[in-house]
Each structure stands twice: as C-alpha cells, then as structure tokens.
Amino acid sequence: MTGAVATGTLRLVLFGPPGAGKGTQAQLLKERLPIDHISSGDLFRHHLSNGTELGELAREYMNRGALVPDEVTIGMVLDRVATMPDGRGFMLDGFPRNTNQAAALDEALAQRGQRIDRVLHIKVDDDELIRRLSNRYICRKCQKPFTRDPRSGEAPKRCDDCADGGEIYQRDDDTADAVANRLAVYHEETAPVLDFYREGGILADIPGEAAVETVNGLVLKALGLTAEV
C-alpha cells in the first residue's frame, strides 16, 4: 500500500451517508496524497451554477434529495474519470451511490486495467447526520463546509479560503424534507453497495462521529499511512 501512496496512484472511494464528512476528509487527504478529488455532487452543482442542460435536468432530483438517473450520472462521472492520466490516483466522493453505478465503475476501470484499491466507509448515525446537515453551510466557489456559530446562531458570510471570499450559502437540499429523503435513499439504494465492496475485500469501516482530526487519523491508518506528516 505504501508504494502505491508514494506514486500517487491510489484509487479510492469515499463512502458514507450525506453529512458523514466525506468532503472534509477528501480535503485533508489531498494534503497528504497527490491524487484528485472527484465529487459527483460538486460536478452536478457546477453544472447547476453554469445553467447547463445537464444541470437543469439534475436540479429537480437534487432539490428533493433523490438520485439523479444513472443514464446521466454514470456518463458524467466516468467521463471525468477517463480524463485522469494513467498513473494518477483519485478519490471518488458521492459515487457510486447504487449497485448499478458500482458495476459501471468497475467495468470502466477494468477496461483500462485498473481497479478501486480501497473503499473508506465513514459511518455516522442518522441523528448526528440530521444535526450536522441542518447546521451546514458551504462556499459557493470552493465548496468548503462551514457551520453556524453555536452562540450567535449565525453562519459566516464569506469564505476565508477563497482569494476573494466566495459567498457562503445553505444548500437547497439541506432542508429537513430533502435531508430525510436523502437519508432514506442512502439506506435503501446506496448502503447495499457496501456488500459489493466487502466481498471484494477492499472495504474499511471508519467510525465517523469523532472530531475531524480523529477520523482523519483512522482514514490514514486504513490507507497504511501514519497521522504525522
């Protein structure tokens, strides 16, 4: 595993329910590994903010917390994966979200003589996910997550990570109804993908309720890396 890390060819899936912290862990992993972060949700939001046909098609599904149909999603993500140079690793976040997508990914990689090396399953209970998502805000430009200040109840207005301070907003699908739907979809359609990867022997279960740094330590350990730089 360490050799693969050094060459930056690791191909990972960050797996878990909405609000588990996949995006946060992806940002931290990017500081350690020279691999790209491919988030299907970010790709859709990019299409939405650019007003593309694909974005318009996805909007209604996204707003009610449903999965965008596979005919659209699989092509969008696999096209992005196909742009990766042969020796370059990547981490998928938010894809695959059903067994059909998982099979399509496996097949596309196999055609290139590649495969997923490790699936990091970040586990968090529904109550905690609901609490996190109702307090979650993100930067419109870089997608960095923020939370409300516990004392004032206010979220920051501008991102401290973007050069000219991207606007911070609450996602349309972080409303109570959409969140309930997203969790139901996760349990019904996405969680079964775990068996697919468990059978392949590449699944690592990571408890995701602790502090971000603690979860990051567990993620690094699952990849055979140590927490220190």
- Residues engaged in binding ligand AMP (CB under 6 A): 18, 40-41, 44, 61-62, 65-68, 73, 94-95, 97, 101, 173, 182
Residue 32 is among the residues annotated as catalytic for this protein: no
Residue 22 is among the residues annotated as catalytic for this protein: yes
Query: What contacts 105, CB < 8 A, 6 or more positions away?
Result: 77, 78, 81, 92, 95, 96, 116
In terms of CB distance, is 149 or 167 closer to ligand AMP?
A: 167
Whole-angstrom distance, CA of residue 166 vs CA of residue 85: 30
In terms of CB distance, is 5 or 94 closer to ligand AMP?
A: 94
Residue 158 is among the residues annotated as catalytic for this protein: no
Looking up tokens 């998502």, which residue turns up? 133
CA atoms within 13 A on the CB side of 103: 5
CB of 87 to ligand AMP, least distance (A): 25
In terms of CB distance, is 10 or 68 closer to ligand AMP?
A: 68
Catalytic entry in 45, 118, 132, 136 = 136
CB of 39 to ligand AMP, least distance (A): 6
Residue 198 is among the residues annotated as catalytic for this protein: no
In terms of CB distance, is 5 or 186 closer to ligand AMP?
A: 186
Copy the structure tokens of residue 98.
Answer: 């059903």
CB of 19 to ligand AMP, least distance (A): 8
In terms of CB distance, is 21 or 41 closer to ligand AMP?
A: 41
Catalytic entry in 22, 45, 118, 132 = 22
CB of 212 to ligand AMP, least distance (A): 18
For ligand AMP, the nearest residue by Cβ is 41
CB of 16 to ligand AMP, least distance (A): 10
Is 37:48 a contact under the CB 8 Å cutoff? no
Catalytic entry in 11, 45, 132, 171 = 171
Catalytic entry in 11, 118, 132, 182 = 182
Whole-angstrom distance, CA of residue 119 vs CA of residue 127: 24
Q: Is 149 exposed, middle or buried (0-12, 13-18, 19+ CB in 10 A)?
A: exposed
Whole-angstrom distance, CA of residue 90 vs CA of residue 84: 8
Residue 136 is among the residues annotated as catalytic for this protein: yes
3 state DSSP class of 145: strand
C-alpha dist (Å) from residue 86 to 39, 104, 135, 190: 19, 19, 39, 28
Which residues are catalytic, by number? 22, 97, 136, 171, 182
